[in-house]
Amino acid sequence: MLLTFARKQEKAVALWLKDFILTMQEFFLFSVRAFKAFPKAKRYWRDVLDQATICGTDSIPIVLVSAISIGSLLAIEVGNLLEDFGAKTMLGRSTSLSVIRELGPLLMGLMLSARFGSRNGSELGAMQISEQIDALRAFGTDPVAKLVMPRLVAALIMFLPLTALSDFAGLHSAAYMAEHYHRLDPGIFWNAVYPRLAPKDFVVGFLKAPVFAIIITLVSSFNGFSARGGTAGVGSSTIKGIVVSSGLVLVANFYVSKIVLENM
């Protein structure tokens, strides 16, 4: 009986592994098709602009809210810690490094994974189950070029200014808290920020923007294209897209920091 159970488990694992490898292969080919469609960006410029509005302009409020809250909290908590060591003048240095290298781009990535990724997953999933994607193919239009490439181009363009905005809002909210909560002179705060930031700090932060753009757009769109089984299928493919892209954003955040800081 134990042997039968073990064999069943072995078969289930083998099936899962086969499915996983096939999905990875499909995802790879899907991504290649999206990148190969880049020369058509000029033809689909209206779609690129629409998507840039959705992932860029429309995302400003959520990026600002998350950056301001994390910048403020960071200034309060790090300031309290530094006060114990009599090093409160270092608040600008420590918060600017955290915001520009890590928290600014990471929070922006997670917020956009939820906002832009969920929109992609649900919209493309609904198009898939209502056969609109099949209709595009049936009438001779490449659905990846029409639907995925504009999203990818728009995300690659818009994630950079959003990262800058997130850094800017995070730093200024930290400076505000340093002045009004910790009673630290703004001159001391900013003097610890700008002269001490090295180019590699900006490279780490801003390199994450295109990496996150690729992860969020391709993972959410692929899951939308893979939606099956009615409205419930759209829901589960959207959730899967957000969970996987958020997880990958966290992993990529670590590796980009590690690789750049070790090599610059």
Partner 1 sequence: MIELRNISLKYGDKEILKNVSLTVKDNTIKAILGPSGVGKSTILKLMLGLIKPNSGHVLIDGTDITSMKEASLYSIRRKMGMVFQGNALFDSLTISQNLGFFLRENMKLPEEEIERRVTEQIKFAGLEGYEDQLPESLSGGMRRRVAIGRALIFKPHMILFDEPTAGLDPVSSKKILSLIRDLRHNNNLGAVIVTHIIDDVFNVADCVAVLYQGEIIFDDVTEKLHQSQHPFIRSILSDKILEL
**Under the rule (CB under 8 A), what is the footprint of partner 1?**
130-132, 134-135, 137-142, 146
* Nearest Cα residue to 166 out of 60, 16, 19: 60
With contact defined as beta carbons under 8 Å apart, do 109 and 208 qualify? Answer: yes
Q: Which C-beta is closer to partner 1: that of 2 or that of 138?
A: 138
The phi and psi torsions of 228 (rounded to 5 degrees) equal -140, 155
> Which CB, 137 or 258, lies closer to partner 1?
137
* Least distance CB 131 / partner 1 (angstroms): 4
Shortest distance, position 142 Cβ to partner 1, whole Å: 7
Main-chain phi, psi angles of 227, to 5 degrees: -60, 135
Residue with smaller CB distance to partner 1, 50 or 201: 50
Which residues, other chains included, contact 97 with Cβ-Cβ below 8 Å and sequence gap of 6+? 197, 201
Closer residue to partner 1 in complex, CB, 139/194: 139
Nearest distance in Å: CB 183, partner 1: 54
Quote the least distance from Cβ 129 to partner 1, whole Å: 9
Per the structure block, which two tokens stand in for 156? 């690659």
> For residue 79, what are the CA distances in angstroms to 2, 83, 96, 174?
59, 6, 13, 10
Query: Least distance to partner 1 from the beta carbon of 46, Å?
Result: 11
- Least Å distance, CB 3 to partner 1, is 24
Question: What does each C-alpha distance from 199 to 101, 187, 237 come to in angstroms?
Answer: 11, 22, 40
Q: Closer to partner 1 at the Cβ: 17 or 198?
A: 17
Q: Which is nearer to partner 1, 76 or 136 (CB)?
A: 136
Q: Which residues contact 189 (CB under 8 A, 6 or more apart)?
A: 91, 92, 174, 175, 178, 179
DSSP letter for 98, please.
I
Q: In angstroms, give the least distance from the CB of 50 to partner 1.
A: 10
List CB contacts of 176: < 8 A, sequence separation 6 or more: 72, 75
Closest CA to 103 of 71, 59, 75, 78: 71
Q: Which is nearer to partner 1, 1 or 138 (CB)?
A: 138
